[in-house]
Structure 1
Amino acid sequence: MEEFSMEQNNLEVQEEESQIENVKMPGIIQVGTLYSIAVILMVFVSTRLQTTLGFNLGGALSEILLIMLPPLVFLILFRFDVKRVLRMNKTGFMNFFLVFWIMFFSIPVVGLFNILNMLLVKLLFGTVEIAQIPVGSDALGFLASVLVIGVSAGICEELLFRGVIQRGLERLGAVKSILITAFLFGLIHFDFQKLFGTFLLGALIGFLVYRSNSIFVGIFAHFTNNSIAVVALFLSMKMSEYMKKMGMTNMSEMNTSGVGDALSELQKLSGIQLAIVIVFYLMVFIITAVIFGVLLYAFIKNTSKDVKEIKEDKSGIRAVDFASFIPGILMVILIYVCNGLLLGGTIDAEAMRSFLKAIGIG
């Protein structure tokens, strides 16, 4: 009787796994269309919302209405199993604990990619202009920034990218789906000066979601990354205010200077000074990279029972299926070209505003 009971349990588990594997997933044409819709809505609607309603309210509505709502409506309208497609599966506390520290120690790694990206931009255009995230200066403003930049972005962007787009691309295999989704994720941030870092961040989150088989891990990872950035900027602002009160104006200006200014300051250093700075940051990078690697290995070991193997299946996939991504990608390229022309001084800001207004963006 015990053997029969064990065999019956095994059959039930196999049947459940088979049902999960056979669940209907979005097609490449469908996720490409969703991506293009999201890009176009962000370009034509998001800016207007933030201009009219302010960054916090406009940004939150942009995330909810333009990023999260279309894929949810799509899944419900076409009768997909929302829970299974989005990987709305529970996960253990240890995964969340590891993800928090993985994201924390990934900051220097992602930062290095951003620095390389900005050095390339500076080489091509002669300057770098990085817009800082608008963070509230008081406790209420800080909380609002965390809710908008951390919570709403974490939930909404993960549902679209790791929830729907990555799932729709998984017939290309796990690695390709993660990397392509990360690239699309980087593009939609409309900032080629941080494209390398955003791509790496998207790939990392995509891997965490794949290994844990839970969208909640991706949401938490995204929230952690964005919230750490908000906290860092808020503390930097407070430190600058304190320095000004103490009469240390030079230090406060150094503390709030942009990345472009920091690169310019590095160029002023002597060879020995520059070597010391490079060695110092290289040591910091190596130490944090090692810790990051250990944490990632621990996460991989901890999710060995959660991960669902994804087999590459190109049957029925045609090159034309990817055409649905083209409108969104072309729109991103247009924004990149405009930003590049402004950055390189090829066209003045007023002329660019007139051009963007003429095509309905400004």
Structure 2
Amino acid sequence: MDNKKKNPSILETNIFYLVLGTLLIFLGGFVQSREIYSGLLITQYLIILLPTISYLKIRGYSLKNTLKLNKISIKQIVLIPLIVIFAYPVGAFLNYIFILFLSNFIKIRPAPIPIPSSSPEFILGLIVISLSPGICEEILFRGMVMSSYDKLGKKKAIIISSVLFGVYHFNLQNLLGPIFLGAIFGSIVYKTKSIYSSMIAHGFNNAIALTIGYFLLGKMDKIQIQSEAIDISANSFATILSIIVGLIFSIVCASISYSLYKALPESKEEIEEELIEDYNFRKLDYIPLVGVLIIFIFYNYMFLFNQ
């Protein structure tokens, strides 16, 4: 098979993932600490998107094949946001449960993403926090990463790329939600055979979070939000009640989201895939991920547990 038709190997993708993760923590963290919006743009386009596209081009991989740059239909465009609307509460509930667990060991910190306080900031947030990650992060995770793991089978590719996506946020408080949503994005990509579908899903998901923050939480002080989260975790009756209500609501939303996913038309686009049996498993492939895990543990220990 010609190199132009192959996807990157698991080892080179994992090494690339380790390099980008390191850049995200140190360079991305630095530029975001100086100014959050410009820092996020630098992170998305110069630390994630540009290196990913450049690497694939330099190595001679087909961008169309690796990134699944295929058209999507109008019906798919309409259904994808609906799938995300009902999947979002499930991801939020998973994060909430995990935060309740973590609150027994650490002091919960408010989300680092800025909450818009005005209409211009809200519009800026839609560009920086919704649109940009929807493009850049999907190119990396549902593009390069998931395509590299194709050789293990679609289910494993979805699961592994979703876990790597969740870890890449380097935020223990925001881990389960992104992993769950990453699985949704990956499933949508395989069904539509187009990365444009996950870009829409990802961007719309972030827009939901931003909109909720702007209209419901924008007037609240971050310290107040933080203290309320701790108070809830300390009240056993309120905790149990919130879990029961959240669980029921999440089950209903998950059922609706799954039904909409089943109704999502499958693409007829032909994509050349590497055969599963052609791949020889090597433990060496996953050594770079150990490095990412060490960074993840150290980073969260310094900023969450070491308070």
One fold, TM greater than 0.5? yes
Distance between the aligned counterparts of 1:86 and 1:72, measured in 2?
10
Cα shift readout 1:124-161 (whole Å, capped 9, x = no counterpart): x1532232520331221111111011111111100011
Distance between the aligned counterparts of 1:69 and 1:175, measured in 2?
28
Does residue 106 of structure 1 match 2:87?
yes
Distance between the aligned counterparts of 1:161 and 1:277, measured in 2?
33
Structure 2 stretches lacking a partner, 5+ long: none
Please identify the structure whose Cα radius of gyration is greater: 1
Q: Which residue of 2 aligns with 1:154?
A: 134
Q: Which residue of 1 aligns with 2:260?
A: 295
| Equivalent residue for 2:55, pick from 62, 74, 94 | 74
Secondary structure of the 1:258 match is: helix
Does residue 28 of structure 1 match 2:10?
yes
Name the % identity: 27
TM score, norm. by length of structure 1: 0.77
Q: Which residue of 1 aligns with 2:231?
A: 264
Residues 277 and 337 of structure 1: CA distance in aligned 2, closer, same or farther (over 3 Å): closer
Distance between the aligned counterparts of 2:106 and 2:298, measured in 1?
21
Distance between the aligned counterparts of 1:127 and 1:44, measured in 2?
24
| Equivalent residue for 1:284, pick from 239, 244, 249 | 249
Residues 283 and 331 of structure 1: CA distance in aligned 2, closer, same or farther (over 3 Å): closer
Structure 1 stretches lacking a partner, 5+ long: 1-18, 241-251, 346-362
| Contact residue 14 and residue 286 of structure 2 kept, 8 A | yes
Cα shift readout 1:271-327 (whole Å, capped 9, x = no counterpart): 5x766655544443333222112112212xx11645868752353331112223333
Distance between the aligned counterparts of 1:227 and 1:318, measured in 2?
40
Q: Which residue of 2 aligns with 1:188?
A: 168
Cα shift readout 1:218-259 (whole Å, capped 9, x = no counterpart): 111100000111111111245x3xxxxxxxxxxx67x98426
Distance between the aligned counterparts of 2:197 and 2:178, measured in 1?
18
For 2:266, give the aligned amino acid.
Answer: T
Does residue 215 of structure 1 match 2:195?
yes
Secondary structure of the 2:160 match is: helix
Cα shift readout 1:81-102 (whole Å, capped 9, x = no counterpart): 1111110000101111111011
Cα shift readout 1:174-219 (whole Å, capped 9, x = no counterpart): 1111111111111110111121111111111111111111010011
Distance between the aligned counterparts of 1:164 and 1:211, measured in 2?
17
Distance between the aligned counterparts of 1:91 and 1:146, measured in 2?
23
| Contact residue 106 and residue 304 of structure 2 kept, 8 A | no
- Larger RCO: Structure 1 or Structure 2 (Cα < 8 Å, ≥ 6 residues apart)? 2
TM score, norm. by length of structure 2: 0.90
Secondary structure of the 2:103 match is: helix
- Paired residues, number: 306
Does residue 167 of structure 1 match 2:167?
no
Residues 274 and 221 of structure 1: CA distance in aligned 2, closer, same or farther (over 3 Å): closer
For 2:16, give the aligned amino acid.
Answer: L
- Between stretches 28-37 and 114-123, larger displacement belongs to 114-123
Secondary structure of the 2:37 match is: helix
Distance between the aligned counterparts of 1:310 and 1:294, measured in 2?
30
Does residue 38 of structure 1 match 2:20?
yes
Does residue 316 of structure 1 match 2:280?
yes
